[in-house]
A and B are shown apart, each in its own frame.
Chain A
Amino acid sequence: MFEARLIQGSVLKKMIDAIKDIVTDINLDCSSTGISVQAMDSGHVCLVLIELGSDGFEPYRCDRNITLGLGLKALSVVVRCANNDDSITIKAQEGTDNINFVFESPNGEKTSQFEIKLMDIDSEHLGIPDTEYDSVVKMPSHEFQRICRDMSQLGDSIVVACTKDGIQFSASGDMGSGKINLRQSSLVDKEEDQINIELNDPVHLTFALRYLNYFTKATPLSPTVTLSLKAESPLCVTYPIGDFGSMKFFLAPKIDDEDTAAATQE
């Protein structure tokens, strides 16, 4: 028996909106500690990792580890039927091949029940190593979304360069080129508006904007986003989900000409 109730049902809606353009099916791996999802896009270029701790649910019950395979299309249709302030309960009985969603309005006057058939999804689990990143940048998520959107007007890829002076995003194309510099902020009113750069080593990496623009669909999930960069390694874009979980996107860097290769060696 698996049962998990998410008070803020809107979180689930936002999560699904964030990934539905990247992946088509997901496996919810449920254990006593929480729910995790690992999925790749069809081209196996990027990886989505969702981790939700059991403490984010009230109640949370998972008698034994269970994997629930779901088609995102169906899930998206169902979850769209929930109001933003509804609570969402996910239930799965052992031995059945259905998953149940129950939406309850805050005043308890309205409850809706939906059932989706489970899928048998061939899952390939990747082992994500614990990485010590060269640069970790925390910034407002809407700022990152804006930068990716603006830069994609100029070119297909974005160069992210992190030095002690700050982080620079640049793109160029037939039309011209552009650069955006962000410096570590010293005084801000709100913590979430802060730009914080932890730098062990300067990095210089190029990424496909197409995928970053998919990732930034997760912006409504969190006011802040963290970019973790390491030379020759995939970028990790992390959106925290409340204080009980996170949504992470991993994207391999583009391998550039020697200039970039040399720069990353520095």
Chain B
Amino acid sequence: MMNPSETPKPLVLVVDDYQDAREMYAEYLEFSGFRVAEAKNGQEALDKAFELRPDIILMDLSLPIMDGWEATRRLKGDDRTRAIPVVALTGHAMTGQSDEAKGAGCDSFVTKPCLPDALVDEVRRVLATHGGASAR
């Protein structure tokens, strides 16, 4: 499905159990020129990540089945996905969630509520920091 001759659009995996938010971010990311894959929980996120090898993952932390922290830990523990940057979407930092997120291996975190354009800005920034990600 990827066309090597075209400039590949970065693939963003959006993981959120709240459909409205997930689709909102997905729509705005596509509007902003990204390819988007979606996952509803931690387990699905792992499956999609191994399958699609996204360029970046937006990970909501409170998720059913497997929460965002556990999923991030597993992604970072696997050679196939270790290099993929993970941006954590946290609720209002209740008990130092940002620290916990970093401990789990998150590369960045964004506090919700987060407006779509602010989120896209952060995605772009992280991708730029991790340079060369788009080469994959």
Q: Answer whether A and B are interacting partners.
A: no
Residues of A whose CB lies within 8 Å of any CB of B are: none
